């Protein structure tokens, strides 16, 4: 019996439990719901929870523990020579066994591995049968016990609501768990990377060529992991994007909030926000196949040599993508400037433009700075546009017509395709991811603080 089938049966039992519980409560109350402490359906939920929840917990625990136990037993049954392999080799061996057991391709299949795979399958099957038996009996016991406890005076609503509240709290803790998961996985893999490559060399080295050789005698066998060219490239493209996005976003926000009539505003705003809804891979396609050739041809016309994967193409398209972030966030803060400030300025005889320049912008500045910082963080973390339109070569250059690479591009190229576990190359991606995460997190925290402070000022 496979696990999903077992789960289904448990679910059916829980539903049956619901009806049994409700019926028993009604019978016990002589068909008068008013005699019950709680609504009749709560008695049903009570039985269903007793039937399903402990079983689910058993399931989760079992499914986490079973692979560990099975792995241990399978390794224990291997010949002694294999058991004494170093941990990483043993892991690879186990991987092969699992693949054979699933009927997938493995890197080698010796009789020993085949036997181990059969053993593995037998143990797994046995485990699943035992799980099914335990789960079903637990569910049945829960059902019967809970049903027998149902009585008109039983405060089931309180019990059911406590479980409900527990579920709600667990769901809201998931966000924290996600953060912990991100930080832990990035830190853990990065620490392993920094065992191989010194921290300072990574952060301040100026040569990036992550190709580690397969053979010891290969040329350039030790990759170098100086990330400065990557950081510079990221900054470069982000700067270009901001040069496009900030003026365009800001001026359109000012126009829409101060000059445009409400009808125009109501039409233009959603259309501009479409820009934010277009998938980034579409921008990447646009940058690589439409914008980059145009820029290259234009450059050739005036006698400039432009790389076909120039920083300019990726940066400009990224800027276009970010326009709605800047414009709608600045629009919000401009709209939040109290009307009295505007009217005071008009009363002194200032024109609208003078009011914008001398009153509104200074008043909204913290919010606008926050918006720009959020946009910068968005640009730094953006992946698909640069993967498709920016280069791979880690050039340290300020020329926007040359190819540069970014943190996200490097993460993708290091991790997509065949991976060697534990190689510095793979781990480098996590170190870059850590830098990316920490940097964007700081930007976000600062930006949100700016925005919040500003809001408090006028509320």
Partner 1 sequence: MGNGQASGARAAVPVSSIARTVESGLRRRHAAELRLKIYGIAAIGFALLALAVLLASVAAKGYTAFQQTYIAVDVHFDREKIDPEGTGKTDDLLRGDYEGLARAAIRGAFLAVKGRRDRRALGKLLSSGAGDKLRRMVVDNPKLVGTRRRVWLLASDEIDMLNKGYAKRNPDGSATKVSRKQVTWYDALAKNGAVERHFNWGFLSSGDSREPEQAGIWGAVVGSALTMIVTLLLAFPLGVAAAIYLQEFAPKNRWTDLIEVNINNLAAVPSIVFGLLGLAVILGFFGLPRSTPLVGGIVLALMTLPTVIIAGRAALMSVPPSIREAAHAIGASPAQVVFHHVLPLAMPGVLTGAIIGMSRALGETAPLLMIGMVAFIVDVPSSFEDAATVLPVQVYIWADSPERGFEEKTAAATLVLLAFLLAMNAVAIFLRKKFERRW
Tell me the DSSP string of 251-284. HHHHIIIIIS-HHHHHHHHHHHHHHHHS-HHHHH
Pick the binder of partner 1 from 46, 231, 283, 450 (CB under 8 A): 283
Quick check: 429 binds partner 1 (CB under 8 A)? yes
Cα distance between residue 330 and residue 396, in whole Å: 34
Q: Which stretch binds partner 1 (CB under 8 A): 74-82, 105-113, 167-175, 393-401?
A: 167-175
Query: Which residue among 230, 312, 411, 428 contacts partner 1 (CB under 8 A)?
Result: 411
Look up residue 432 and give its two tokens. 């870059």
Q: Tokens in use for 425?
A: 């190359």
266 belongs to the binding site for partner 1 (CB under 8 A): no
Q: Which two tokens stand for residue 91?
A: 């892991």
Rule CB under 8 A: say whether 388 interacts with partner 1: yes
- Which of 47, 143, 288, 360 is in the footprint of partner 1 by CB under 8 A? 288
Does residue 209 sit in helix, strand or coil?
Answer: strand
What are the backbone angles phi and psi of residue 13, rounded to the nearest 5°? -60, -40
Least gap, CB of 168 to partner 1 (angstroms): 4
Q: Does 9 bind partner 1 (CB under 8 A)?
A: no
Given 24, 296, 408, 428, the residue binding partner 1 (CB under 8 A):
408
72 binds partner 1 (CB under 8 A): no
The CB density around residue 354, as the number of other CB atoms within 10 Å, is 13
The pair phi, psi for residue 209, each rounded to 5°, is -150, 90
The answer to whether residue 272 forms part of the interface with partner 1 (CB under 8 A) is yes
Output the six-digit token pair for 394. 């880690």
Task: Find where tokens 């693949």 sit.
Answer: 99
**Rounded-to-integer distance, Cα 117 and Cα 131, Å:** 21
Of the pair 215, 263, the CB lying nearest partner 1 is at 263
Q: Which of 23, 149, 157, 192 binds partner 1 (CB under 8 A)?
A: 157
Cα–Cα nearest to 227, from 250, 251, 210, 248: 210
**325 contacts partner 1 (rule: CB under 8 A):** no
Binding partner 1 (rule: CB under 8 A), the pick from 134, 144, 341, 350 is 350
Three-state SS at 189:
helix
Determine which residue in the list 228, 336, 415, 446 makes contact with partner 1, applying CB under 8 A: 415
User: C-alpha 412: how far from its chain's center?
Assistant: 15
Nearer to partner 1, 142 or 370 (CB): 370
Nearest residue (CB) to partner 1, 27 versus 57: 57
**Site for partner 1 contains 192 (CB under 8 A):** no
138 vs 324, which CB is nearer to partner 1? 324
Q: Which stretch binds partner 1 (CB under 8 A): 11-19, 121-129, 215-223, 321-329?
A: 321-329
Query: Which residue, 164 or 213, has its beta carbon nearer to partner 1?
Result: 164
Of the CA atoms within 13 Å of residue 287, those in its CB half-sphere come to: 29
Q: Of 17-25, 81-89, 181-189, 232-240, which part binds partner 1 (CB under 8 A)? A: 181-189
Q: Please select the residue that binds partner 1; options are 28, 352, 369, 401, rule is CB under 8 A.
A: 352
Which residues in 48-67 contact partner 1 (CB under 8 A)?
67
Query: How many residues touch partner 1 (CB under 8 A)?
Result: 89
Is position 259 an interface residue for partner 1 (rule: CB under 8 A)? yes
- Our finding on whether 387 is near partner 1 (CB under 8 A) is yes
- Of 64 and 81, which CB lies nearer to partner 1 in the complex structure? 64
Residue 139 beta carbon to partner 1: minimum distance, rounded to whole angstroms: 22
Distances (CA, A) of 366 to 204, 337, 422: 32, 12, 45
Tell me how far, at minimum, the Cβ of 54 lies from partner 1, in Å: 20
Helices (H), 221-338: 228-254, 262-277, 280-286, 292-301, 311-336
Structure tokens at 254: 């000012």
135 binds partner 1 (CB under 8 A): no
Are the beta carbons of 288 and 388 closer than 8 angstroms?
yes
| Least spacing, CB of residue 118 vs partner 1, in Å | 20
Q: Measure the CA angle with vertex 401, ends 398 and 402; round to 5°.
A: 70
- Among all chains, which residue has been given the structure tokens 């143990």? 123
Kindly write out the interface string for residues 363-382 of this chain, putting x where it contacts partner 1 by CB under 8 A and - elsewhere: -----------x--xx-xxx
End-to-end CA distance of the chain: 61
């Amino acid at each position: 019996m496979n696990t999903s089938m077992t789960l289904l049966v448990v679910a059916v039992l829980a539903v049956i439990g619901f009806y049994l519980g409700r019926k028993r409560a009604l019978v016990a109350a002589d068909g008068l719901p008013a005699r019950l402490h709680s609504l009749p359906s709560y008695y049903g939920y009570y039985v269903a929870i007793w039937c399903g929840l402990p079983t689910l917990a058993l399931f989760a625990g079992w499914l986490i523990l079973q692979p560990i136990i099975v792995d241990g037993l399978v390794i224990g049954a291997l010949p002694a020579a294999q058991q004494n392999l170093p941990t990483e080799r043993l892991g690879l061996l186990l991987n092969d066994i699992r693949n054979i057991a699933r009927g997938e391709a493995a890197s080698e299949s010796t009789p020993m591995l085949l036997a181990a795979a059969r053993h593995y399958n037998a143990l797994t099957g046995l485990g699943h049968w035992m799980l099914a038996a335990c789960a079903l009996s637990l569910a049945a016991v829960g059902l019967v016990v809970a049903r027998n406890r149902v009585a008109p005076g039983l405060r089931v609503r309180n019990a059911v609501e406590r479980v409900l509240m527990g579920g709600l709290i667990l769901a809201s803790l998931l966000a924290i768990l996600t953060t912990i998961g991100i930080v832990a996985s990035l830190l853990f893999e990065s620490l392993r990377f920094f065992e191989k490559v010194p921290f300072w060399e990574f952060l301040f080295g100026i040569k990036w060529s992550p190709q580690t050789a397969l053979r010891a005698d290969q040329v350039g066998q030790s990759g170098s992991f100086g990330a400065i060219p990557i950081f510079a490239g990221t900054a470069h493209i982000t700067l270009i994007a901001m040069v496009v996005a900030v003026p365009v976003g800001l001026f359109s926000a000012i126009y829409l909030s101060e000059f445009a009539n409400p009808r125009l505003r109501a039409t233009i705003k959603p259309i501009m926000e479409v820009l934010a809804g277009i998938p980034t891979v579409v921008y990447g396609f646009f940058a690589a196949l439409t914008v980059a050739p145009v820029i290259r041809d234009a450059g050739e016309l005036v006698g400039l040599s432009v790389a076909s994967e120039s920083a300019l193409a990726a940066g400009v398209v990224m800027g276009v993508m970010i326009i709605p972030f800047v414009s709608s966030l600045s629009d919000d803060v401009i709209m939040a400037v109290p009307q009295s400030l505007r009217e005071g300025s008009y009363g002194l005889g200032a024109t609208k433009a003078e009011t914008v320049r001398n009153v509104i912008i200074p008043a909204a500045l913290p919010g606008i700075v926050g918006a720009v910082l959020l946009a910068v963080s968005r640009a730094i973390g953006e992946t698909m546009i640069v993967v498709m339109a920016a280069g791979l070569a880690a050039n340290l250059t300020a020329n926007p017509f040359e190819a540069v690479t970014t943190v996200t591009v490097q993460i993708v190229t290091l991790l997509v395709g065949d991976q060697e576990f534990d190689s510095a190359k793979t781990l480098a991606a996590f170190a870059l991811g850590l830098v990316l995460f920490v940097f964007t997190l700081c930007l976000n925290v600062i930006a949100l603080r700016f925005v919040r402070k500003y809001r408090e000022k006028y509320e």
